[in-house]
Chains A and B, each alone.
Chain A
Amino acid sequence: MKYLKIDDQTLSDLSIFETSGKPSIYGLYNKTRTQGGAAKLENLFRHPLADEHSINERAAVFEFFSRREYIFPLDAETVGSLAYYMENNDVRSQLQAGGQSFGQRLKDMVSTDADFVFVRDGVQATLRLFYGMRTFAGALQLDARDTVYEPVLAIMIEALNRPEFELINQLAGPEFDIKINPGLLAELDKQIRFAHRENILRLLDAVYELDVHIAIGQLARTKGFHFAKAINRESAVLHFKKVYHPHVEEAVANDLYLDRGHNILFLTGANMAGKSTLMRSIGVALYVGHMGLPVAAEQFEFAVRDGIYTSINLADNLSQGASHYYAEVLRVKEVAKELSGQSQLFVIFDELFRGTNVKDAYDATIALTSAFAAHRGSQFIISTHIMEAGEVLQQKTLPISYQFLPTELRNNTPFYNRVLREGITADRQGMIIIQNEGILDMLDEGIRKMGESTCHS
């Protein structure tokens, strides 16, 4: 299977996984009930796919679960104790049938032996799991008829009803604790942990997967997320309708369309206008879309990418002695290398070359944006403070879409509506704020007063 190319920088820019207590995308999506389910989901997050068929297939399964409310049939404790039980496959811990001496029995009456309790709990959990899964699978059969989930379910049902599980299936019932005599317990222990170990583990894996399916389905329903559609990579289309950032409360949604004719979004706007958030929300949706998971957008179609590269908030750590600017250049170089190898990428550069003087940043922005434009198969979002660079780029005929996030001044306080507009920002609220704060007048006044006092003295 082909996977999407990503790196640590992209993961941290998009806050895919938790770092230093900030809310993560994985955390948002992880509503699984079991630890195994969470691990499975994490694995999906670590390895987004890069071919349209597997993405769409996976999305279809999740979509099936989002249509109706399903409740995961098992409690976390049952699954947890089975997993714990299965972990120990040391033959010495196997329960021995018969041959219990009188002394042993007497000892059992006084206090239960820990090994015995371990096996008993594990076996009981297995029985509960079989019963729960059988009931759930049976109920699901009708819903799953003629859907993508039907074959998956069929495999699961088959796995549950294997002939070697006959004894287990006979015993499994709705009671929480099923009465089993010590001889039978020893037999079940042997079957579950040793004889049919592989099949039980496979079943456990299917349980984890079901957990992920149900959790994601529920998330899509409750959060109102929609499923993305992966299309052919050659089309180079990125089409969002009402995309927003899932972590931002009352987030404003935006539309975006990029394709071969317009493969660069040149984004301008004031600092607080929401440039970074918008870029993050697009990056996150695309990332999550590549896993077949539902995204925070009303509609989303994307050409499958080979990789996602971002450079948002590149660590500006002066104390480390590493030049911020140099770090940025190396990041750009990395992307350029990928591009020259005919990869089709999605690239975000936020405030390109913030770490250098304006002249250089201006020249570099123009040169690189023009060079990126030639790579029609890849898409770029480039944001900058240097709007003059945009004006120069506009003179050339390049496949660039110019948009900005506006700032309005209301009673001297800047107000941001966070809705994209066509063009390059011409907002000059910076000077207006300075004037409104009366700083310049204050300084003039001080000089005037001082002049007076020296005249008088």
Chain B
Amino acid sequence: MPFITDKQTLTDLNMLGKYKTGSIFNLFNRVKTRGGELLLENMFIAPLADAQSINERAAHIQYLQELDITLEINRDSMDLASQYFTERRPSNRLSAVFNNYREKMQEVLYRSQSLLIHQKQIDAVQKILLAGSLLLGQLQKKEKSENPCKALQDQLGKIINDPALKQLRARYPFTVQQTAQCQYLFLNVFREDIQRLFQLLYEMDVYISVAKTARERNLVYARAMNSNGEHFHIEDLRHPTLSGAIGNSITLNKEQNLLFLTGANMAGKSTWMKTLGISFYLAHMGFPVAAALMNFSVMEGIFTSINVPDDISLGWSHFYAEVMRVKLVAKEVSSGKKLFVLFDELFKGTNVKDAYDATLVVTQKLARYTNCAFVISTHIIEVGEALKDKENIQFQYMPTLMKGAVPQYTYRLADGITEDRQGMIIIENEKILEMLKPKTREDD
């Protein structure tokens, strides 16, 4: 079953987008080949949905990171080489020879470029084979007894070490005869093998690229578990792209499946929720996360509502948009799916009375779905007071400290509901009310 999410969630978390600054895709996109990039994109679009494949992929990446494998491959050569396989398959050796002599004639007669282009492409294929063989060499040299990449490595070896390819002595610039020989070998005999090799290289490219980011950023690999009542347990989790981000821990399980988050506007509520969403998503891709430890049981999807665009000019009521979003999630949740749901500042588009009632009742009703995990943040701390006796709700807040007149944020979660009243403190500190006091010479 595919992992469910939607466009707004991906936007909220800034997951995709090669051309978006700070997107999570860009964080991991260090690939050297176009095919690798496509593969990476596919991994982002379709996270995995079972614990085994998640752990397997994570093990691959982790193994490559430990071995410190690098891939020396030229992007242009890879492009040229993959282009070569759009050519027709020569039916036999003779027709390959015939083809090449015809192209040579065309070159002599009217300076046709096709022979030259084909020779360059053959050269590129050879370079890719060489790159593959270098990679294989590294893998074999550094190989450990427990090798999760064994299957990949063996497939790679089988193709690279085929005697017919290995003993190919032709080097650029080729004679017509050599061109024909290579053409027959690449496009006929080993066509499928080489294309398979390319796929393997793309895959390795992605893994190595992710491993590189993991090493640089000190990321760890989450461990997927089969459901055992714990939704997830994460220690010292940070936002992966923010530098100097502060870590926090979280555990949600069947007994406590809802985190009720409060705190001032700038205190870091939204960032924490985004961090949770991103890490949850990455973990389901088998990718590393910025934490000290993460265990999670595989869930079926994620929905977030962070920064719902407050665009009044669209003429579409913000509140109504939020309600429709909640409805969508309610539908998915009530159908029994196991989801992770994050609502930031629910119902901020309406008056306080409504927002209070709505937040309270929706939170209460959602919390009963112990299969799902929820994080709900709000400004209306009174809702928290009303929910206090619910045992399956965790209360945490992002504190604000006042340093003189300037609020400071620790970004470290504390238990409970915020009681920060720095709003009035700031007003008092700025001496606004004194300024507004009627002077002796007031005009009435």
A residues near B (Cβ < 8 Å) are 234, 260, 268, 270-272, 276, 316, 318, 321, 323-326, 329-330, 332-333, 336-337, 339-340, 342, 353, 355-364, 367-368, 371-372, 374-377, 385-388, 414, 425, 427-431, 433-434, 437-440, 442-447, 449-450
Contacts and interface: CB of A to CB of B under 8 A. Distances in A.
Nearest to A330: B430
A318 B330 CA distance: 29
Interface in B103-147: none
A431 B326 CA distance: 13
Nearest to B307: A318
A443 B328 CA distance: 11
Contact of A364 (B326, B333, B424): B424
B423 A437 contact: no
B423 A353 contact: yes
Contacts of A385: 350-352
Nearest to A271: B349
A433 B336 contact: no
Contacts of A425: 351
A386 B426 contact: no
Interface of B: 262, 264-266, 270, 310, 312, 315, 317-320, 323-324, 326-327, 330-331, 333-336, 347, 349-355, 357-358, 361-362, 365-366, 368-369, 379-382, 407, 418, 420-424, 426-427, 430, 432-433, 435-439, 442-444
A356 B418 CA distance: 12
A446 B407 CA distance: 44
A290 to B, nearest CB: 21
A360 B436 contact: no
A270 B435 CA distance: 32
Contacts of A388: 352-353
B423 A433 contact: no
B265 A324 contact: yes
Contacts of A318: 265-266, 270
A356 B265 contact: yes
A216 B369 CA distance: 64
Contacts of A447: 334, 365, 368-369
A387 B432 contact: no
9 contacts: A271-B317, A271-B319, A316-B310, A323-B264, A325-B265, A360-B422, A374-B438, A430-B351, A438-B327
A360 B352 contact: no
Nearest to A275: B312
The majority secondary structure among interface residues of chain A is helix
A323 B430 CA distance: 15
A360 B435 contact: no
Contacts of A450: 336
Given A414-B317, A431-B354, A433-B319, A325 B362 contact: no
A272 B436 contact: no
B8 to A, nearest CB: 17
Given A318-B266, A358-B381, A387-B353, A440 B365 contact: yes
Contacts of A374: 436-438, 442
A377 B350 contact: no
B387 to A, nearest CB: 16
Contact of A437 (B323, B347, B382): B323
B443 A359 contact: no
Contacts of B430: 329-330, 333
Contacts of B349: 271
A437 B312 contact: no
A446 B334 contact: yes
The 9 closest A-B pairs by CB, nearest first: A446-B334, A360-B423, A430-B354, A371-B436, A430-B350, A336-B435, A443-B365, A356-B423, A374-B438
A324 B366 CA distance: 30
B345 to A, nearest CB: 11
A374 B437 CA distance: 8
Contacts of A340: 435-436, 439
Contacts of B444: 260, 376-377
B352 A325 contact: no
Contacts of B326: 434, 439
B337 to A, nearest CB: 10
Given A356-B379, A385-B352, A375 B436 contact: yes
Contacts of A353: 423
Contacts of A367: 424, 427, 433
B105 to A, nearest CB: 57
